[in-house]
Structure 1
Amino acid sequence: MNRNEVKNCLLCNAPLNSQMDWKRLFFNRFPKVICQECENQFEWCLHEQDEEVVSLYYYNEAMQDYLHRYKFMHDVLLSKVFREEIYYNLKNRKEMIVPIPMHPEKLKERTFSHVDELLKEARIPYVHLLEKITTETQGGKTREERMNTPQIFKLKKTVQVEGKEILLVDDIYTTGTTIRHAKRVLIEGGAKSVKAFTLIKSGFYK
């Protein structure tokens, strides 16, 4: 990998300090792609974890801006921003890593799968077991509407999940509707356990 792949912060465009320190070299860590000032704006989510869903960051103003640029302005380079944190949180997980999928029509519109790209940049192997069966998104719905959403996933054809331990991965956890629907399909298909990991934890903000 070219360790000088990014010369300027992907978020504010400030020049990055490209000097290689021995710790980064020894542990083969990922090259930095954002400056320290931008990094400090993200708020770690460390004290609200449970065994079922683990999230790395809160949905603050800086994260809202990041997510808007990444998902809705289609800036796929921003998939690099949190790759090191994702890698170190998932590299030793024993479960099968399963991204929350996009509907094919939404994938055409966005041109890339944002969750898949986060995992690719973090060098985390994954497998798709689910298909999304509706183009509806949770954004814009009230909390009550989200909680009453009909099933939005199905198992892919020929997929066998019986006895599998699965870790679902998504970008943001808000009411938990998406994770609940995915978990239900997998458990009904025979999965032994289903937990979840998300980059962001949000209060109900829509």
Structure 2
Amino acid sequence: MNRREIDHCLLCNAPLTIRMDWKRLFVNRFPQAICQECEGKFERYRHEGNEEVDSLYYYNEAMQDYLHRYKFMRDVLLAKVFAGEIHRHLKNRKELIVPIPMHPEKWKERTFSHVDELLRQARIPFVHVLEKTTTEAQAGKSREERMKTPQLFVLREDAQVEGKDLLLVDDIYTTGTTIRHATQVLMEGGAKSVKAFTLIRAKGGQEAIKASPLMF
């Protein structure tokens, strides 16, 4: 990979100041994708105890703009923004990495799978074992409406999950409906354990995130 392939911030287009050192010269590192000013706008998630769902950032204004551009505006290059952080958090996980899937109709509409691309850019191997059964979006629903959502997934016919430890990966955690539904299907399919990782965690009171239906 060309370490100078990105020379302007992918978010604000400001020139990037590449800090060269011996580690950057001799270690295969992820290229810098955003400037320090943009990076500082993202709020790191503060973990509380032994949580089953691991997250990296809170959902704030900067993250809302990022998701809009990445998913709704289909700016697939933005998958590089958090590649290094995702890689650092998942590279040593022993579980089988399982992305939350998109419905085929949504995939055609968006032209790429946003969760798959985040993992691909982070160089994290993954396998699909779930299928999404509905194109209905969760964005904009109240907490009560999300909690009443019918099962969103089924196990793929070729899935082999029995006796395995699995790590679900999604872009954002709000009420936990998506993770809960996926976990139920996997456990019923014989999985030994299921945990989850998300790039973003909504703060309290953000359950009904306002967004275009195309975003989620």
TM-score when scaled to structure 2?
Answer: 0.92
Matched residue, 2:186:
186
Which moves more between the two structures, 21-30 or 186-195? 21-30
- Find the aligned partners of 1:173 and 1:78 in 2 and give their Cα distance: 19
Letter in 1 for 2:88: Y
Which moves more between the two structures, 24-33 or 12-21? 24-33
Matched, 1:3 2:11: no
Shift of 1:163: 0.1
Shift of 1:5: 0.8
Shift of 1:25: 3.2
Shift of 1:159: 1.4
Matched residue, 2:31:
31
1:55-66 alignment, distance < 5 Å: 55-66=55-66
Matched residue, 1:104:
104
Matched, 1:141 2:141: yes
TM-score when scaled to structure 1?
Answer: 0.97
Matched residue, 2:156:
156
Q: What are structure 1's unaligned runs of at least 5 residues?
A: none
- Find the aligned partners of 1:142 and 1:3 in 2 and give their Cα distance: 44
Matched residue, 1:87:
87
- Find the aligned partners of 1:48 and 1:63 in 2 and give their Cα distance: 21
- Gap change, CA 1:72 and 1:84, over 3 Å in 2: same
- Find the aligned partners of 1:205 and 1:84 in 2 and give their Cα distance: 29
Which moves more between the two structures, 10-19 or 116-125? 10-19
Letter in 2 for 1:118: L
Q: Secondary structure at the match of 2:149?
A: coil
Shift of 1:24: 2.9
Q: What are structure 2's unaligned runs of at least 5 residues?
A: 210-216
Aligned residues of 1:51 and 1:195 also touching (Cα < 8 A): no
Matched residue, 2:198:
198
Which moves more between the two structures, 22-31 or 126-135? 22-31
- Find the aligned partners of 1:199 and 1:158 in 2 and give their Cα distance: 28
* Residues 94-134 of structure 1, C-alpha deviations (whole Å, 9 max, x = no match): 00000000000000000000000000000000000000000
Percent sequence identity over aligned pairs: 74
Matched residue, 1:15:
15
Shift of 1:26: 4.1
- Find the aligned partners of 1:26 and 1:181 in 2 and give their Cα distance: 44
Structure 1's consecutive aligned runs of 4 or more residues displaced over 4 angstroms after TM superposition are none
Q: Secondary structure at the match of 2:167?
A: strand
Aligned residues of 2:45 and 2:56 also touching (Cα < 8 A): yes
Q: Secondary structure at the match of 2:169?
A: strand
Matched, 1:113 2:113: yes
Letter in 2 for 1:63: M
Letter in 2 for 1:52: E
Q: Secondary structure at the match of 1:123?
A: coil
Shift of 1:49: 5.7
Q: Secondary structure at the match of 1:158?
A: coil
Letter in 2 for 1:140: G
Letter in 2 for 1:172: I
